[in-house]
Structure formats: structure tokens, C-alpha cells
């Protein structure tokens, strides 16, 4: 089952936010995330807040779009009450789970509610995640017609035995087909990959990179497999059924991906993300990393507005009950003080290619910069110009860099 929610203050039933969230809101972008918590099967490595049909406890997929639209209406009231600047959405992102398990008419209705409520900035990025076996040509064209601009396919691997270990259900030969349909519909295409699966060799990883690059996508994400406590994969590793991922091999795989993507014309812009050009970066995810505002709709979704962060009840049945009662689905929240917001800015923006000004660091962090340069973790030229930017070695050890900057 998914991991537990954070422990923090209870959220009020009306969901109202303090007036402080309005401060500076006209200078921050506003994104909308819609969490669709449904999957056909639960992958053994996944601890996302997702549910298969036999885990729904009376909640119905057919009711979900209406419930999400009700939360969007509540969100508008809450933001207006707090005096937050009236901003169109700069990005909209449907994640999961598998959003495309829902009928395309449901995704269309939810997107329409966002547009009616807040509007969209000109050229706004509108993305949905999709499993390769959850869409066909007609579905992708319908997404385009509804106003979606981008689709992110969960490719993960091109190697059957790797997909089997991950318990992914799609046939890797379907990737070229769905990418071609998306291209035909005029959608931008991103491919998500996972590396370091138990039993995956460097040659296997090369095969996955071969197929991903052959599709000429606009964007590629590549994430090291993390074994999350409570997952089926963690239990298999504990029993000795499969091997623990090899950190050194994962580092080799990351370096191989970065080199091959660079040769193919991609540039990294966040530790795990590469784009063919800046226009194809994921603006929605960049909003998280640089501290903009977003409202997360749906069970377990997290939100952040003006230094207040909150998260919804996790189970779709609990979410449905809150919505039906006219209450906010928020389960808990926390108000971040200035020091915490600064720490989080360093934590998140270290991972971004553009980095951040050294002035964000406390005195001890600034003192650590020279050692990080000597260890070839931070780019020397950028540091001399007043910015912290990671080297390739620094990206491999990003967590360690952050610890030293925040000591």
C-alpha cells in the first residue's frame, strides 16, 4: 500500500488559507496538478498513492471526474477568500496512477473545469501521463482536441525481463506505435525510463536508451530505481528473491544516459530530466523545483501556495466522502517559516541546471563552496559568478552536496 501521509497540523474543514499566502502571489506562476489514483495492477516497486479495482472500498472511477471538479470549485473559492492574485494556470498536469484509464471525456471535463475556473496562460503546458497500453490513436487525438499539449509515456524499459521484474504490463514493441500516434496528433512526447532494476545490465540499459532515442522524443526522464519500504519489491529483496540495486551500476547507467542523450542533442535541466531544447522542458515540474504555487486535486495530492503546504486524504473513498459532505479534502498542512523555505529552496534548486544564487546560503554553506569546487561537485566558473551549479559528478552525489551546503 502507499506510504503514510506526513504528520502536521490538521487542515480546517473549509480549507481556508491564511491571508499571508497572497503576499507576492502575482510574481509566482500557478500550476494545477490532478491526481488520478487508479491503476489496473500495482507494480511491485511503486509506493505512489494508487489503487486497483479491488482496493477502492466502494469508491467508483465513474464518480471521480465530478469529485475532482468539485474540488476545483472549492480551490477557486479558497484562493479568492485569501486574496491570492487572479492568475491563469501556467501548467496543468494529470498524473497518477494512470490518468488514461479514465474515459477521455472525464479528462476533458476536468481540464475544462480548470480552464473555466482560472483560464490558461497563452501557450500553457497541459500534460497527461499515460501507460503505452492505455491509449490508442483515437484517444490521443481526443486529448489534442481537448487542449492537451503533451503526453508522458511510462516506457520504463525496452527489455522484457526488466519490465517483468518491475511488473509493468505493456509490450515494449508498442512504444513506437503510441509515440507515432501522439506525433500525428501534434502532441509533444516525453518518455519516462527507470534504471538500476535488479537483474538489469548495462547492455540492457543501452537497449532501452536505443529504443527511447529512436523515437526522437522531445523530453526524456530517467530515474534510478529506489526500493521503497512496504512495497512488494522491498519484500522480495528482503527475502533474497531478487538482488538489491547496485549503487555503482546505477551511477554508471546515469553517466551512460547523460553521455548518450547529450550526443543525441538533449540537455539536462534537472538531475533526472533532459529536453531536446528549453521549450520542451517540463514547465510544470520546474514550478515545483523553483517554488511556484500549485493546487493538487485528488486523493493524496499535495499543494503549495505562498509558503503553506497541505495534502489531501489518501483513499478515494475518504476523498469522496469529504467532497460529498461539502468539506475540504485536505488532511493536514504546515506553514513554512522563512528559514524552512530557504532550506527547501536550496534542497530543490540544487538539482536544477540553472542552480541558485550563493546568497541563498547561510555563512556555513558559503564556506563549504570551496571544498565542493575542489571535489569537482560544483562548477567553479559558475561559483565565481555567484551561482551554485552542479557538475556531472555533483549530480551523481546531489544529496551529499545539499547536506554540505546546509550544514
58-76 pLDDT per residue, tens: 999 999 999 999 999 999 9
Please say whether the beta carbons of 295 and 33 come within 8 A. yes
Per-residue pLDDT reduced to its tens digit, 24-35: 999 999 999 999
Please say whether the beta carbons of 52 and 2 come within 8 A. no
d(CA 34, CA 51): 15
Residues shown for the chain: 407
- The whole-number average pLDDT for the span 345-371 is 97
150 DSSP β-pair partners: 127, 188
* Helix, strand or coil, per DSSP, at residue 281: coil
d(CA 9, CA 330): 11
Rounded to the nearest angstrom, the gap between the alpha carbon of residue 296 and the centroid of all alpha carbons in its chain is 12
Per-residue pLDDT reduced to its tens digit, 130-139: 999 999 999 9
d(CA 148, CA 150): 6
b/e sequence 65-103, b meaning 16+ C-beta within 10 Å: bebbbbbbebbbebbeebebeebebbbbbbbbbbbbbbe
Cell of 258: 547523460
- % of the chain residues with pLDDT over 70: 98
Using CB atoms within 10 Å of the CB of residue 7, give its burial: 0 to 12 exposed, 13 to 18 middle, 19+ buried.
exposed
Cell of 25: 502571489
Domain extents in the chain = 9-289, 337-407
Cβ neighbours for 318, distance < 8 A, ≥ 6 positions apart? 299, 329
What pLDDT, on the 0 to 100 scale, is given for residue 1?
44
Which of 40-54, 140-154, 276-290 shows the lowest mean pLDDT across its residues? 40-54
Task: Dump the DSSP string for 41-88.
Answer: S--TT--SS-B-GGGSTT--HHHHHHHHHHHHHHHHHHHHHHT-----
- The whole-number average pLDDT for the span 237-265 is 96
Per-residue pLDDT reduced to its tens digit, 185-217: 999 999 999 999 999 999 999 999 999 999 999
Cβ neighbours for 113, distance < 8 A, ≥ 6 positions apart? 68, 69, 72, 73
Pick the CATH number of 9-289 from 2.60.40.10, 3.40.50.300, 1.10.10.10, 3.20.20.70: 3.20.20.70
- % of the chain residues with pLDDT over 90: 97
Name the DSSP class of 33.
E
Per-residue pLDDT reduced to its tens digit, 142-179: 999 999 999 999 999 999 999 999 999 899 999 999 99
Amino acid at each position: 500500500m502507499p506510504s503514510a501521509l506526513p504528520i502536521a497540523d490538521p487542515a480546517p474543514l473549509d480549507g481556508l488559507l491564511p491571508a499571508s499566502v497572497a503576499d507576492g502571489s502575482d510574481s509566482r506562476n500557478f500550476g494545477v496538478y490532478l491526481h488520478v489514483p487508479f491503476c489496473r495492477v500495482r507494480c511491485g516497486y511503486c509506493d505512489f498513492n494508487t489503487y486497483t479495482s479491488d482496493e477502492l472500498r466502494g469508491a467508483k472511477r465513474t464518480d471521480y471526474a465530478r469529485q475532482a471538479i468539485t474540488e476545483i470549485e472549492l480551490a477557486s473559492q479558497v484562493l479568492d477568500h485569501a486574496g491570492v492574485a487572479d492568475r491563469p494556470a501556467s501548467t496543468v498536469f494529470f498524473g497518477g496512477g494512470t490518468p488514461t484509464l479514465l474515459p477521455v471525456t472525464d479528462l476533458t471535463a476536468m481540464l475544462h473545469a480548470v480552464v473555466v475556473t482560472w483560464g490558461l496562460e497563452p501557450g500553457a503546458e497541459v500534460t497527461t501521463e499515460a501507460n503505452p497500453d492505455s491509449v490508442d490513436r483515437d484517444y490521443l487525438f481526443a486529448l489534442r482536441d481537448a487542449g492537451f499539449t503533451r503526453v508522458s509515456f511510462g516506457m520504463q524499459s525496452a527489455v522484457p525481463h526488466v519490465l517483468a521484474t518491475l511488473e509493468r504490463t505493456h509490450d515494449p514493441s508498442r512504444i513506437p506505435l503510441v509515440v507515432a500516434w501522439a506525433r500525428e496528433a501534434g502532441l509533444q512526447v516525453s518518455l519516462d525510463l527507470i534504471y538500476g532494476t535488479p537483474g538489469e545490465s548495462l547492455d540492457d540499459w543501452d537497449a532501452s536508451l536505443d529504443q527511447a532515442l529512436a523515437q526522437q522524443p522531445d523530453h526524456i526522464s530517467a530515474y534510478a530505481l529506489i526500493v521503497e519500504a512496504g512495497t512488494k519489491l522491498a519484500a522480495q529483496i528482503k527475502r533474497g528473491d531478487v538482488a538489491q540495486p547496485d549503487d555503482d551500476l546505477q551511477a554508471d547507467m546515469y553517466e551512460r544516459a547523460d553521455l548518450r542523450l547529450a550526443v543525441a542533442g538533449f540537455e539536462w535541466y534537472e538531475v533526472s530530466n533532459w529536453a531536446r531544447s528549453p521549450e520542451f522542458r517540463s514547465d510544470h515540474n520546474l514550478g515545483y523545483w523553483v517554488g511556484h504555487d500549485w493546487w493538487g486535486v485528488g486523493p493524496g495530492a499535495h499543494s503549495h501556495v505562498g509558503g503553506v503546504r497541505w495534502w489531501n486524504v489518501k483513499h478515494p473513498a475518504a476523498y469522496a466522502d469529504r467532497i460529498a459532505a461539502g468539506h475540504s479534502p485536505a488532511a493536514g498542512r504546515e506553514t513554512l517559516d522563512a528559514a524552512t523555505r530557504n532550506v527547501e529552496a536550496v534542497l530543490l534548486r540544487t538539482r536544477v541546471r540553472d542552480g541558485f544564487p550563493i546568497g541563498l546560503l547561510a555563512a556555513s554553506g558559503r564556506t563549504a563552496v570551496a571544498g565542493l569546487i575542489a571535489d569537482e561537485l560544483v562548477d567553479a566558473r559558475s561559483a565565481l559568478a555567484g551561482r551554485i551549479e552542479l557538475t556531472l559528478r555533483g549530480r551523481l552525489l546531489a544529496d551529499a552536496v545539499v547536506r554540505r551546503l546546509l550544514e
